[in-house]
Structure 1
């Protein structure tokens, strides 16, 4: 009995399992169909919300002047610190090569020093990816504070690093390690600073305010170069080669502490806070909920930051455009800054002090020309200024290097000035242009990828490539042709740019400087050529759409619903006509079949059977 009971149990068990599987399969199928129907309904609902939504006064961000000033100060000092190190290292490149590779030939020492500078940029894409992802998740402010602290500490450690004479081959290895740390930190600095300022600045003045970042960059470079030049003029060459070169690096630590103090006084941008937080019914802040998964036709429904692969997949066109623009701008930019002291002293045979002093006034001139170019782009267009920058680099590169090769001080200054023209126009626009190519939730991450990849491949290696071209070709004009080649690529990239002058950032509401400007913007939104309301609400987070409609929005919603109903009725009429035609075709086919059967039946009756023909009459 037990065996039989067991057998019966074994016989019944598969039947129950199969039935359960069928029921579970049915439930899964029903649930999938329900989710599909829900997604379609959500798609229709969001499409209607996006079409009927109109700009309201409380949608517009009014920038507080005090907050903007704090944001500018906190961002500019970070860029100043980053480029202070670039300036110091660029102007001390010859001495560093002698201290960390003393037994090599002079050209090899220069190549080593410039190569170590280029190594810095290898870590920048990694820093840009990691810190960019953190910036989109944790906030711009926290990540920018971290990058500033890491950069200042690494720069200070270079100042106290033992040379080759003290610890041998470990010295250049440690130097490379510290430059890699610098590169990792700076990978998140510029991308974060530009994201921070563009999200804070009013739309109509974004070009000017964002350009102040690069004003800080070039003033930082000039400050580092000036400090090195002062030391070279005031101390002996022996002291400069022993301990004097360390002083500019060691000063970075107190400067970093001051900059960090400014940076801790700022708050995260309104655009980032709006993308991360919402207010619940009780008035408390909470994290924005995940939005329902719907079909790809709905834009910007994911309010959270995306991973690296998702950024590459969704924004590859914008990333490539930004990459090539940054490559063009930084090739000519680093040619003027980090490479020019080496070029003037080794190729044109200026003594290091005069070579450094010649570039200082040009750097200061570029620094103050950069905000002017940003202001011009606010009143014209970003694309127009960047096209001019690329065109001028192609036209002026060869004359610039020819004037410098002439050898006179006046001609060298003129050549440097010609090279500075495209630099000012490039740098005066990139900080405002590039962040405006990406939505708020992914802006820091995309900037970290595009900017740092381009700087690593083209910017950091600019001096090394140009010195190698001069060394292997023997042609002093070889750097000019490298500048031309990269700017031709940049010229093509400008035609794929999204124009952003005086327009809201993607995924963000308009930003203005006063309440009166916000009221005027709302009142003139329909006829404002610089404000596409439909495009604006096609990219904002869903929670901004799902609100009680105003009278105007309700009328638009009614018009959209009537239009959808008319389309549905037209579709129904077409479907009914097709159904009637199909029924007519069926009836016609049936009648034809009956006629054919009738005719074949008559023929069968008229024809004699074989038996009849074979049987004789009796």
Structure 2
């Protein structure tokens, strides 16, 4: 073997990344996620408070269903966005594609805030809303899986759970910020002003948030795993969409099914809590003669629940690095089965019950939100990680999770049974248990197709030479 071949072999068998670069990557992904999910979640917080009256004023008791159907419209195109942006990310790199998805989301959100109401342009108004929601879904399809890939490929093997949890810290912060801005606008403005123009203010704030996220991502070099892949096989940058699907179908079908099951358990929990519970509390329960909550109280409960989740995310992510991902994911899945219906029953019985019920949902969601971001990227190799995640994640989210608020509200409206959110949570838990059973533990192990990765912070201090100068450490990737 030649000297150059030996040097190349050493470079791909182990890698060290500067700690400051790892933290900068986690920050860029997390802050970008704040902006992305602030934009994406605004619609659900405004749906029951004002958007149903602005865009579906003549739909009667079905106005909430139609408003949530427009929310679900974003999920029709998420698989397409995941496929298009995922394969591009596997060919061109993660950071440039992620900057573009952020630009698209910010632009679509601002456009949503500019759409005239039904009273001005009639049926064109909800049709425009549906189209813009689909643009947001197209962006989200590429955004989240790209962020998952970016953080996973930058994280040291022994701390991937901890850094992955920060990605969800950004997601939940975005949802919390959206809820807080919505609550502020609703509380400060009279109902007439809120319907006329006030509901547009939260959407306009997408611009500065989006610009910050784009700036941070464009400053970041591509991931160590992607750089290794391009160094070994530069021709892979010409991979076609057809070839990517063939590889996913022939070699990673089982991994895709396990990933999809975890996505269902995680995201049904997520969308029931963050997207459906505001509507359930403010619209559904009062309409059926139960003690619901005002918009301000509902938003306050949401914000409080998510703030408590934020406090625990990092600790649970770090715990998964010590004991493994599977025990925590299994705990969350069993909790959905055992506590799914009781948590919904509690929400139906006044403020105290609503507090406890939402806290149970939040604690269950925490088991997935803190651990899944480090678990899912490990199911695919570097070659198709972004694209494989993009397709699998978004197909299962779109079919089973993103549509949950619409299907649940339609079922409640049609049957009068208020327990449908609980049935959904129990079903998601069953899927989660089966998926965890077939999941291979990935904690502490290198990602498939990538060299073992260590951070400079995890290394012992270098030994000193005879002259007292630190000896040279192994090869480091440039920051």
- TM (norm. structure 1) is 0.70
Distance 1:227 1:123 in 2: 27
- Matched with 1:472 is 414
Is 1:338 matched with 2:280?
no
Listed as ranges, the matches of 1:118-267 within 5 Å are: 118-267=72-221
Q: How many residues of Structure 1 are paired with residues of Structure 2 in the alignment?
A: 449
Alpha-carbon distance in 2 for matches of 1:515, 1:400: 42
Query: 1:96 is matched with which residue?
Result: 51
Aligned-partner Cα distance in 2 for 1:84–1:146: 17
Question: Match of 1:307, SS?
Answer: helix
What corresponds to 2:29 in structure 1?
A: 75
C-alpha distance in 1, partners of 2:240/2:411?
Answer: 46
Q: State whether residues 87 and 223 of structure 1, in contact with CA within 8 Å, keep that contact through their aligned partners in structure 2.
A: no
Q: Which residue of 2 aligns with 1:61?
A: 15
Among 234, 248, 256, the residue aligned to 1:319: 256
Shift in alpha-carbon separation, 1:104–1:303, aligned structure 2, 3 A: closer
Give the alignment of 1:406-555 within 5 angstroms. Answer: 406-407=349-350, 409-514=351-456, 517=459
The answer as to 2:332 corresponding to 1:404 is no
Change (3 A) 1:303 1:249: closer
Q: 2: CA distance between counterparts of 1:380 and 1:308?
A: 34
Taking structure 1 as reference, are residues 136 and 485 closer, same or farther at Cα in structure 2, changes over 3 Å only? same
Which runs of 5 or more structure 1 residues have no equivalent in the other structure? 1-44, 46-54, 279-286, 291-301, 521-618
CA distance in 2, matches of 1:466, 1:116: 14
Shift of 1:85: 2.0
Shift of 1:267: 0.7
Aligned residues of 2:40 and 2:136 also touching (Cα < 8 A): no
Distance 1:207 1:515, change over 3 A: closer
Between the aligned partners of 2:186 and 2:445, the Cα distance in structure 1 is 48
Q: Give a deviation string over 1:263-322, Cα, whole Å, max 9, x none.
A: 1111100110110125xxxxxxxx6358xxxxxxxxxxx999942233122211001111
User: 1:345 deviation in Å?
Assistant: 0.8
Q: CA deviation at 1:367?
A: 2.4
The whole-number CA distance in structure 1 between the counterparts of 2:235 and 2:433 is 42
Task: Tell me, yes or no, if the aligned pair for 2:91 and 2:239 is still in contact at 8 Å.
Answer: no
Question: Are 1:385 and 1:425, in contact at CA under 8 Å, matched by a contact in 2?
Answer: yes
Q: Is the 8 A contact 1:210 1:374 kept in 2?
A: yes
**1:500-557, Cα deviation, whole Å (9 max, x unpaired):** 101100111111123874999xxxxxxxxxxxxxxxxxxxxxxxxxxxxxxxxxxxxx
Partners in 1 of 2:84 and 2:239 — Cα distance?
20
Q: Report the CA distance between 1:488 and its aligned residue.
A: 0.1
**Residues 341 and 425, structure 2, Cα contact 8 Å, conserved in 1:** no
Give the superposed CA RMSD: 2.3
Question: Post-superposition shift, 1:469?
Answer: 2.3
Distance in 1 between the 2:32 and 2:380 partners? 23
- The CA deviation string for residues 125-182 of structure 1, in whole angstroms up to 9 with x for no partner, is 0000111000000000110001000000000000111111111111111111111111
Is residue 36–residue 210 contact of structure 2 (8 Å, CA) maintained in 1? no
Give a deviation string over 1:398-450, Cα, whole Å, max 9, x none. Answer: 1111111111x222100100111110001111110010011111100110011
Change in CA separation of 1:180 and 1:515 when aligned onto 2, cut-off 3 Å: closer
1:276·1:304 contact (CA, 8 Å) conserved in 2?
no
Alpha-carbon contact 1:397-1:484 (below 8 Å) kept: yes
TM value normalised by structure 2 = 0.90
Going from structure 1 to structure 2, the CA distance change for 1:397 and 1:138 (only over 3 Å counts) comes to same
Residues 512, 518 of structure 1: 8 Å contact kept: no
For the pair 1:348 / 2:285, whether they are aligned, the reply is yes
SS in 2 for 1:277: helix
Shift of 1:348: 2.6
Partner of 1:394: 337
Q: Which has the higher contact order (CA 8 A, sep 6+)?
A: 2
Match of 1:358 among 289, 301, 304: 301
* Equivalent position SS for 2:443: coil
In 1: Cα distance, 2:339 partner to 2:399 partner: 23
* SS of match in other structure, 1:476: coil
Asked if structure 1 preserves the Cα contact closer than 8 Å seen for 2:149 and 2:386, the reply is yes
Aligned to 1:17: none
Change (3 A) 1:170 1:516: closer
Give the aligned partner of residue 320 of structure 2. 377
Between 84-93 and 178-187, the greater mean CA deviation after superposition: 84-93
From the superposition, tell whether residues 363 and 383 of structure 1 become closer, same or farther in structure 2 (CA, over 3 Å): same
